[in-house]
Chain A
Amino acid sequence: MASRPHHILTVTVENKPGVLSRVAGLFSRRAFNIFSLAVSPTDDDRFSRMTIVVDAETAPLEQVVKQLNKLIPVIKITEIAPGDGVERELMMMTVQATAEVRPQVTELASIFDAKIVDVGFEALTIMVAGESDKLDAFSDLAKPFGIVELQRTGRIALARVARQPTRLRAVKAARA
């Protein structure tokens, strides 16, 4: 998934019934593909935020953004170019972990900074957060133990914040 060209759009929408349907319907009607979609409330309860990972091969991003903008409940669209944002995804996985292999499983989890959130007699449920590549790697490595169930949230992303003090940026901008 990570290797194919993709764009991340964070879309601020009005928190009203049917908005998800309008956005999803637009994508299917215009033949745009969605890799992943995450919807969540924001700090302002009038708005929700959708993080949409778009398959850039199916349609030019410009068309996707323009068509999305025509939806009346869409307030704001920000494109986060690869590298310009902090992206995270959450995965929960139930993996077989009988007594013989349990130490190996827990060691793998600790390498990935994962948390064990449920423990059973023969299986563990592990939660891991990170960039999509990391989640892919973790599930590849856990596979030999036997994955019982796996679920991922889809990506969420925020634009990177400035790394310089405001004053310095102002000076640089003035020079440029």
Chain B
Amino acid sequence: MKLTGAQALIKSLEMEGVEVMFGLPGGAILPVYDPLIDSSIRHILVRHEQGAGHMASGYAHATGRPGVAMVTSGPAATNIVTPLCDAYLDSIPIVVITGQVAYSAIGTDAFQEADTVGITMPITKHNWLVSDVNDIPRVIREAFHVATTGRPGPVLVDFPKDIANQTMEWYWPEKVDLPGYKPTVKGHPKQIKDAARLIQNATMPVILAGGGILKANATNELRELAELGNIPVVTTLMARGVIPDAHPLCLGMPGMHGNYTAVTSMQKADLLINLGARFDDRVTGDPNCFAQNAKVIHVDIDPAELGKVRRAEVPIVGDAKNVIAELIKAVKGEQSKHGAPDTSAWIAQLNEWQENFPLKYQQLDGGPLKPQFVVEALRANTPDDCILVAGVGQHQMWASQLWQFRQPRTWVNSGGLGTMGYAVPAAVGAKVGRPDRMVWAIDGDGCFQMTAQELVTASSERIPVKIAILNNAYLGMVRQWQELFYEERYSEVYLSPDLPDYVKWAEAMGCVGMRVDSADDVVATIEKANAIDDRPVVIDFRTDWREKVYPMVPAGGSNDNIILGPEFGEGGR
């Protein structure tokens, strides 16, 4: 069967099981958009290429399957650089296809030419420039394999226009042959035995669960291990929901804005069991002051994460699901010989901290609307499996802190890169991947203005996402830092609550727009939004601009110096 390069590309995507892709056509990718008409793949036409990338990422977060985006060359390719970098830092499997000028024209500064492969080399797991029409099926097969196996991540395939128009004899490679790419999945048995022995001998252990638990679909194993050893679990920003927040062993989020108990548990622990987290600086604070009493077991599928920030007594390379399952067996073996270790005094200590140092805020009757109140009201009025998406900043932290996560893959956010504007397109992608679920985004007013145009995409494609803007009229997190660390000298952070008019803007984009000023109207408005299922909804919550995110560990400081906030009296330390 003879196919053009463009047809071969689309057919290859179909062979990979792609059901939907997010994109925007243009000159160099034009040939590929023609066979797309006859394809089973649903294409969602975005309004900006950055939207396509984040939608692919939201789709991947929510479904666990790779998200696919396709855009043209030059400016389109550079517009999708941010989502690639975002997905790279959060290990999200997305496959981005970019058009390129004709292979023969590469290097001539042709119209809309950019060195896409060069630009994206440091922010993709791997990328390819297709140089021969016969390579297309092989390259696409390799691209999906690399994106989804080992430590997942974004990949990019750059596709010259003349190659799209050449013909090839169709084939589909049986298997992928990449001699330089063989991820280690199984943990080393000796290391697992050593880890089990450390667990057996610990009296103050903590599990630090990271995004790797989700990538490996290891939530059941995580829970079993925690319950088996009676070991408390902190869940990083990327891992919220891997164990329900209501689980008695779940301590919630650690880090710069983590709760007191989660942060302090690691500081005091005698054993830290890191399962698929990377000791990010937002978690460790000053790494020299981090968890100084703890021995460390570190499980990661990426060998380079082991020893990068913190030396582990027992490093284990492997897939979290596989390694934890083996670890459970080994721990059971230890327990059958020596009995279960007693962590009850430790748990009692943690419960006392939880009791004494909870997350606190006050919603006064008739007082300004508190953003935390909105988050809690949303949680209380949405189903357990509702997918929550966030942008980056104060609203993201309140969402992560206060949303009672009940299921895995219900939390979509930009962790490592901290990409403002992530929420709207990622919510669209999540809803496309999980049309059966309710999808709410909690967004900031600053973030919303960066990518709101994708609500036009959502309206025209009938993707009913719901956006709650916590509108405090500021770039709130920056304002918070200026207040705390720059002597209240506010520099370029004021945005105005009324400009733009978010309700009118929502309506202009085909959404339902609503506004809430008072705590009394919050629940009724959320209920109204929940009842709308044929178009997106935007609610402009006018929240108290003075509110700050607490607790807080100042950047680069020790986690011992956690600031609890004004609710805890003088200095809150």
Contacts and interface: CB of A to CB of B under 8 A. Distances in A.
B308 interface: yes
B304 A25 contact: no
For chain A, give the interface size range. Answer: 20 to 34
Interface string B305-338: 0111000000000000000000000000000000
B303 A18 contact: no
A22 B307 contact: no
A72 B307 contact: no
A69 B303 contact: yes
Contacts of A63: 304, 307-308
A29 B120 CA distance: 12
Interface in B275-323: 302-304, 306-308
A59 B219 CA distance: 35
Nearest to B153: A70
Interface residues of B, number: 19
Given A63-B307, A66-B303, A21 B118 contact: yes
B307 A62 contact: yes
Contacts of B48: none
A71 B117 contact: no
B121 A14 contact: no
Contacts of B181: 72
Contacts of B308: 63
Nearest to A70: B304
B180 interface: yes
B206 to A, nearest CB: 26
Given A67-B304, A70-B302, A73-B180, A29 B126 contact: no
Contact of A72 (B118, B122, B126): B126
Contacts of B118: 18, 21
B163 to A, nearest CB: 15
Greatest chain A CB density within 10 A among B117, B129, B179, B302 is at B179
B412 interface: no
A72 B302 contact: no
Contact of B180 (A14, A18, A21, A62): A14
A126 B180 CA distance: 40
B121 A22 contact: yes
A99 B181 CA distance: 60
A25 B121 contact: yes
26 contacts: A14-B179, A14-B180, A17-B129, A18-B117, A18-B118, A21-B121, A25-B121, A25-B122, A26-B122, A62-B307, A63-B304, A63-B307, A63-B308, A66-B306, A67-B304, A69-B304, A70-B304, A71-B180, A72-B125, A72-B126, A72-B180, A72-B181, A73-B180, A74-B180, A75-B179, A75-B180
Interface of A: 13-14, 17-18, 21-22, 25-26, 29, 60, 62-63, 66-67, 69-75
Given A17-B129, A26-B122, A63-B308, 13 more contacts: A17-B131, A18-B118, A18-B129, A25-B122, A62-B307, A63-B304, A66-B303, A70-B302, A72-B125, A72-B126, A72-B146, A73-B180, A75-B180
